[in-house]
Structure 1
């Protein structure tokens, strides 16, 4: 009995094709948990789409792309650093493009592995990685196979910032290799691509794979149903049922990422109140789960277990049967599914 992701293959692939049509020079991103789909599934889809490059996060993800049969360039987005053995191995791999983001690292990669294919990262208002714009002109890339310059913008990317940085890149002797953008709107990307006299590419992850949520769905499986009177102790911690009702045990727990959430920056007063409201619900023992049973999201009877969760459904009757599949709302980038099905058409 599993936590399952079911993908409407025709509808999902139609969405992917639509994005590829809107974004000339598309470079799909497949990193981490593969946005919930897994890296091998996304690598196979990238091959199906016919793109010539795919980006991963770290060197350890390269092999999963190769095993899936993707034959194009594999760009490692995390920048190379001295002492990283996995990254060092990629320098001699003709399929791997290494990201460099510091002048000292550029020189070291050229010394260690002349001819290495690299993508040069430019510093942006993200303040994460990159060559500062004022240092671009003096950057010596002799001995390296420069495949392009990457401009990784904040989530709401600014075309003004992108234009400024791309102009600085174009003035470099190796600027003709082109510029790779991320987090621009598709309209802004096409605009800036039409303005520049150098090649442009666009890395897309979330909007590509997760941009049509109606084309896939997550479900848990009902493993057990227990009718219990009010006040019955249940679970590891002996929580008491708040009323007559049922404990419904469903597949999906902490090992899958169920009910886990990444920190979010609150942008409004309402968003700041949400953690307070959630804490009050926890004190009252009524934390709402992401599982829908009998048409409603039901509270956890206690915190999720590793592979399953105990839910409480009040009232008489049988709210679910063993083997039923129930919808579950998950954060795709933190969820690991036991099974991924393509329906109605297979891979």
Structure 2
């Protein structure tokens, strides 16, 4: 039995299509665990919807998706400082660069590849075109060029280029924090970068942004009409409304246990009499994995203190619920199974029944996906293909 992700496919796809109206020309972000859906699943969905440009997190993700899909452009968001090979000599990939060292590493790596593999060099008879995106540092303080660097970037590019590798700037990229920065401050940052780079001789024709509302996005497009803006969408695209999805675990077995009786890997003694309920899903699926919490209020601090105190007595609430009630872990989750403790008077589920489980989607991995309502709506790309033939066929799951 499996840990399952149930998708209200009709409403989820409708939301994805509506995002095109809210954020024209947006760029879908597909990275990590695919926001719980899996990268291939998201890529397949967005490709069939007709999107031609995506952003991925790492070089490895670009390689993997590049083998299966023919997107016109694929942006690698994380600067590449790992080994490149001949397979990376592709034209539709754009590398994010946020420092002189990152720029030099890419050029040196590709130059070495072309030098070692003269056949690749001979195939084109022209220098390899290295497409880059200049990462502009924001108040996030993540990797990125500072405004002080802007006047030197042109020279750094000139110094880095070789006979085999030429650099082409595909645009700018700026990543804003989700909180703590007003829209006026974001506009100011965008304006400073556009103006500074123009003074340095750059033609700023494309800029990728993030964490803006639909109205804010339209406002900056109107304020700088000569710049082609695109917004990257990840969480807001795939996980904007959690009502589109349900995550469920299957009950695998139920064992009665008495107070003081030993059980499990560590042979703990049961604190009470009740039942051990074995359910699908464990650490390999993201069960029990939590992000660090930074409390902002005394209420949040008190809540964390209470949970910490309970854990000293081997009492930790699980994310599994049955009939609206959360249950305690009987012991730490196993790799693919979790053991829950149900009190003697609790209503027990049946073996094979499913329990709701609340997981952090950016760390969750599911054994199966169940699409509900998929037969109701065809994909955009497939609809166009069928309309050309004079017949529309619905996609059936």
TM-score (norm 2): 0.81
Q: What are the equivalent positions in structure 2 for 1:138-217 lying under 5 Å apart?
A: 138-140=152-154, 141=157, 143-156=166-179, 158-196=186-224, 197-217=226-246
Name the structure 1 match of 2:124.
none
Alignment match of 2:90 (pick from 76, 89, 93): 93
Deviations 1:49-108 (A, max 9, x none): 322211111100113323443423111111133xx214x657521121111111344355
Of residues 204-213 and 175-184 in structure 1, the stretch that sits farther from structure 2 once superposed is 175-184
Alignment match of 1:243 (pick from 261, 267, 272): 272
Deviations 1:21-64 (A, max 9, x none): 11112011111111111110111122123222111111001133
Q: Which runs of 5+ in 1 are unaligned?
A: none
Name the structure 1 match of 2:385.
none
Of residues 335-344 and 250-259 in structure 1, the stretch that sits farther from structure 2 once superposed is 335-344
Q: What are the equivalent positions in structure 2 for 1:81-160 lying under 5 Å apart?
A: 81=81, 84-86=82-84, 92-107=89-104, 109-110=106-107, 112=111, 114-140=128-154, 141=157, 143-156=166-179, 158-160=186-188
Cα distance between partner residues in 1 of 2:318 and 2:101:
49
Within the alignment, does 1:10 sit opposite 2:7 as a pair?
Answer: no
SS in 2 for 1:272: helix
Alignment match of 1:224 (pick from 227, 250, 253): 253
Question: Do the aligned partners of 2:59 and 2:80 also contact (CA within 8 Å) in 1?
Answer: no
Deviations 1:269-305 (A, max 9, x none): 2222333221111123321100012431100011111
Cα distance between partner residues in 1 of 2:349 and 2:68:
38
TM-score (norm 1): 0.92
Q: How many residues in Structure 1 have an aligned counterpart in Structure 2?
A: 344
Name the structure 1 match of 2:352.
323
Within the alignment, does 1:308 sit opposite 2:306 as a pair?
Answer: no
Cα distance between partner residues in 2 of 1:317 and 1:286:
17
Of residues 187-196 and 32-41 in structure 1, the stretch that sits farther from structure 2 once superposed is 187-196
SS in 2 for 1:279: helix
Question: Do the aligned partners of 1:294 and 1:320 also contact (CA within 8 Å) in 2?
Answer: no
